Structure 1
Amino acid sequence: MTMRFHPDHLPETKHLFFTGKGGVGKTSIAAASAVTLADNGKQVLLVSTDPASNLQDVFDTELSNEQTAIPSIHGLHALNINPEEAAAAYREKVVGPYRGKLPDAAIRSMEEQLSGACTVEIAAFDEFTTLLRDTKSNQAFDYIVFDTAPTGHTLRLLQLPTAWSDFLETSTHGASCLGPMSGLKDKEELYNQTTATLADEEQTSLFLVTRPEDTSMYEANRASAELHDLGIKNQYLVINGIHPLDSSEDSVAAEFIHNQKQALHELPNALHSLPQYQVPLFAENMEGENGLRAFFQNESVQEKTAASAPPPDLPGTEAIVEEVIKNDTRLIMTMGKGGVGKTTTAASLALELAGKGHSVHLTTTDPANHLSLALTGQSIPASMTISQLDPKAETKAYKQSVLARVSADLDEDSLAYIKEDLDSPCTEEIAVFHAFAKTAARAKEEFVVLDTAPTGHTLLLLDAAESYHQEVLRSTGDLPEEVKELLPRLRHSKETAVIVVSLPEATPVLEANRLEHDLNRAGIEPSWWLINHSFLATATTDPVLAGRAAHEADWIDEVTKHHPGRTSLVSYHSTNSV
């Protein structure tokens, strides 16, 4: 049975997890649920474990990994487990006891081993686990609401107890005693308890948040299956953003409603079996505390006229294509928070380049593998090739390559050390980075369009050449030429065009600004901003969509003001939410 989502209908479990593909609205739903529960007299702790968390934007309150009271909402506290801050604290916890006791060179070596992305994930999980098992927090709050990371991150987070338990059980040589695992070796029992808590339907409920769109449903189905395999079967489905009208004479709304109905009709069987809730699409963004409080009010659709502001006079993707051809910029990367349309943008750019007779290679490093869905129904030119970086396949090939390189020169004990080291989860990230660098190297011969993973993954890939430099050397004995060349190529505007993709909404623009800041710190300057999925550009007169379009104008102006002449606008169409 399907019902309107409301906190009054939630299972009475202390731990409430909201998870899903980036951009599906899980932060808003989690935050609105927490606010409503607090308004109902409950003591509530709202937690984010998302590397791209925007809770502090929602509440206009600076958050850290310490519980912070939200001043205007009695009974509500919030905290954000910042992975980078957690990693720094974790690194010092491991290295600190050795300072002053070991030579500086040894300390630097230890810090280098703890400099990779693997440490960031382990540190964040370490805090997550501690919080979940914290007796004081569990006693102080009626509900602990988790605004978890986009689905790929969430699955990684929830899989860690099993992954690390297996690693600890089979570890006999202590290969990682100074690496990321060194701070975890005494917590195996705690992780087993965490796994049990996540799977306990009397303690925990997990809400898979999705939108009525093909790719979002696909991701929710995949996430549900993987969680089920982990023993986490206490799942609920929340379909967010359903248009309240059944039909419309407005052509844009008619297409929008039709696509939503089609997606709902094709809901995967596994999701059909879950208890299902729905959340309507609102004419206004539910921003700030008042918006969150209005989230669950039953209001009828208010008639609105089309947005008063005319569609902005901004170019589409054709301007980007013309520029990269003119400058012979061979490497093109689309970047942005999950759900903003990076995949469709990458596919569109590649198709336009190939349509002009250029040789193009399109690939994805997105673990959700949305590229094939974005190209469904498209005619692929003969000059265009497509590939995907499969993390599991790349890891297997990488392990085989390393072992083939070193086996002949090592004794049995040393080889056992290397094999154990290659069983570390860090190896997958190194392997994917190698493949990423090899694909980017093709830009010497043809246009290469990379559909990168959501923001957190993208930054890890960009940092990899520096963060994993010593790790790669230690594992393989040398640094491949394409790896050494990658970061300089990314920093060279004549060789690489970085396209920051966003939506004309508050949170996506704020997140894209943060992404740009991180890119700048890495010495990378974006070439273009592309504002995707714009209803304002369609001039729709549908009451709901026109209301949303009216709110786009300020955010489009905000982007164009900071990026004059470097902003592209793409109107809504049925597939560009991929």
Structure 2
Amino acid sequence: MTKFLFFSGKGGVGKTSLSSSAAVMLAQRGEKTLLVTTDPASNLGDVFHQSVGLLATPVVGVDNLYIQEIDPVESLRLYKERALAPLRELFPEDVVRSIEEKMSGPCTEEIATFDQFIACMHQPDYDYVIFDTAPTGHTLRLLELPGSWSAHIEMSAQGTGQTCIGGVEALTASKKQYDQAVQALRDGNRTQFVFVTRPDRIAIQEMMRSSKELQKLNIDNQMAIVNGVIPEEDRDHPYAARRWAVQSKYLAQVQAVFTGRIVEIPLYPDDVVGLDNISEVGRDLAHVLAV
């Protein structure tokens, strides 16, 4: 397994459950693991029955596992304060206030979130860093950000020296760090993107759109987990047989169009919350991922 694992997919397909299970599985094997969510709608705290915030927090009952939530609002506050702190010593308050107003747009929030995202990738103390990412479109937007900065920085440098996301000098330095992170994302020896999907039409269509968008960013290190497959021993039941007849068609479709590795995870009778259930899914993941 690579050091960085990104679990992504359409909302509701089970990526939080599977990313949590993978993290627990690794931690129980003695690997120091950080599980990070970038999804504003994530229920990571509910999964582990404890609070989660912007700082990495040890998981109660699981040695070697830490969880963290990248909150866009708090990330923006920290980003702005870090950018404005040196300016407060150089400029009058009204000038700093004007700069702060320019940094209050949505583009700054996206960059601030990406800033925290990248900081998690520069954590040398962890053996593995697993990301439970926001629905795929938002994740792709984050990954596209560094590539669109150069022209914006160059134009701003010829003017006031300020951009909507901070000063040109500091931003240029950050961009170099971000570019290095994107290179890591493209490196199949360091990063694996795991698309979580369900055996249904809409989820698979979104997965394939996202897979192609990642390929446009030269990110080909992809695999797919089809979640919620009817277990083989249950397929004789009348209801399950009907569901399996539908699922099998979509599984064949995934195998026909997705070029990366494909694995299946069964439909579980209970919600994947609480350490016992998470550990059970983690054991299944270890089997299908051959780790």
The answer for the alignment partner of 1:146 in structure 2 is: 131
Pairing 1:120–2:109 present: yes
| 1:181/1:20 CA distance change after superposition, 3 Å | farther
Q: Please tell me whether the aligned partners of residues 217 and 268 of structure 1 are also in contact (alpha carbons under 8 angstroms).
A: no
| Greater relative contact order (CA < 8 Å, ≥ 6 in sequence) | 2
**Paired letter, 1:200:** D
Give deviations 1:59-90, integer Å, cap 9, x for gaps. 12222222211131011112112111010111
The answer for the alignment partner of 1:238 in structure 2 is: 225
Pairing 1:52–2:44 present: no
Q: Secondary structure at the match of 1:185?
A: helix
Give deviations 1:239-260, integer Å, cap 9, x for gaps. 111112435423xx45533332
Q: Please tell me whether the aligned partners of residues 221 and 268 of structure 1 are also in contact (alpha carbons under 8 angstroms).
A: no
The answer for the alignment partner of 1:317 in structure 2 is: none
The answer for the alignment partner of 1:342 in structure 2 is: none
Q: Give the C-alpha shift of residue 20 in structure 1.
A: 1.0
Q: Secondary structure at the match of 2:140?
A: helix
Q: Give TM-score, length-normalised by structure 1.
A: 0.46
Q: Find the aligned partners of 1:211 and 1:165 in 2 and give their Cα distance.
A: 38
Q: Find the aligned partners of 1:254 and 1:163 in 2 and give their Cα distance.
A: 49
Q: Give TM-score, length-normalised by structure 2.
A: 0.88
Q: Find the aligned partners of 2:242 and 2:160 in 1 and give their Cα distance.
A: 57
The answer for the alignment partner of 1:189 in structure 2 is: 176
| 1:247/1:46 CA distance change after superposition, 3 Å | same
Q: Find the aligned partners of 2:183 and 2:155 in 1 and give their Cα distance.
A: 21
Q: Please tell me whether the aligned partners of residues 247 and 257 of structure 1 are also in contact (alpha carbons under 8 angstroms).
A: no
Aligned with 2:261 (options 261, 272, 275): 275
Q: Give the C-alpha shift of residue 23 in structure 1.
A: 1.1
Aligned with 2:162 (options 177, 187, 191): 177
Q: Secondary structure at the match of 1:184?
A: helix
Aligned with 1:263 (options 247, 250, 256): 250
The aligned runs of 1:23-34 (5 Å cut-off) are 23-34=12-23
Give deviations 1:360-381, integer Å, cap 9, x for gaps. xxxxxxxxxxxxxxxxxxxxxx
The answer for the alignment partner of 2:100 in structure 1 is: 111
Pairing 1:295–2:281 present: yes
Q: Find the aligned partners of 1:146 and 1:294 in 2 and give their Cα distance.
A: 20
Aligned with 2:8 (options 7, 15, 19): 19
Q: Secondary structure at the match of 1:144?
A: strand
Aligned with 1:66 (options 49, 55, 61): 55
Q: Secondary structure at the match of 1:33?
A: helix
| 1:219/1:174 CA distance change after superposition, 3 Å | farther
The answer for the alignment partner of 1:160 in structure 2 is: 145
Q: Please tell me whether the aligned partners of residues 161 and 194 of structure 1 are also in contact (alpha carbons under 8 angstroms).
A: no
Q: Give the C-alpha shift of residue 174 in structure 1.
A: 4.2
Pairing 1:90–2:79 present: yes
Q: Find the aligned partners of 1:109 and 1:170 in 2 and give their Cα distance.
A: 19
Q: Give the C-alpha shift of residue 268 in structure 1.
A: 7.4
The answer for the alignment partner of 2:197 in structure 1 is: 210
Give deviations 1:23-72, integer Å, cap 9, x for gaps. 11111101001101111121111111222232122112222222211131
Unpaired segments ≥5 residues, structure 2: 285-291
The aligned runs of 1:157-556 (5 Å cut-off) are 157-165=142-150, 167-168=152-153, 172-174=157-159, 177-182=162-167, 184-244=171-231, 245-250=234-239, 253-267=240-254, 269-271=256-258, 273-296=259-282
Q: Find the aligned partners of 1:261 and 1:57 in 2 and give their Cα distance.
A: 32
Unpaired segments ≥5 residues, structure 1: 1-11, 299-578
Q: Secondary structure at the match of 2:111?
A: helix
**Paired letter, 2:251:** L
Q: Find the aligned partners of 1:233 and 1:189 in 2 and give their Cα distance.
A: 22
| 1:266/1:141 CA distance change after superposition, 3 Å | same
| 1:270/1:216 CA distance change after superposition, 3 Å | same
Q: Find the aligned partners of 1:51 and 1:166 in 2 and give their Cα distance.
A: 30
Answer with 1 or 2: which has the greater Rg: 1
Q: Find the aligned partners of 2:150 and 2:235 in 1 and give their Cα distance.
A: 50
The answer for the alignment partner of 2:24 in structure 1 is: 35
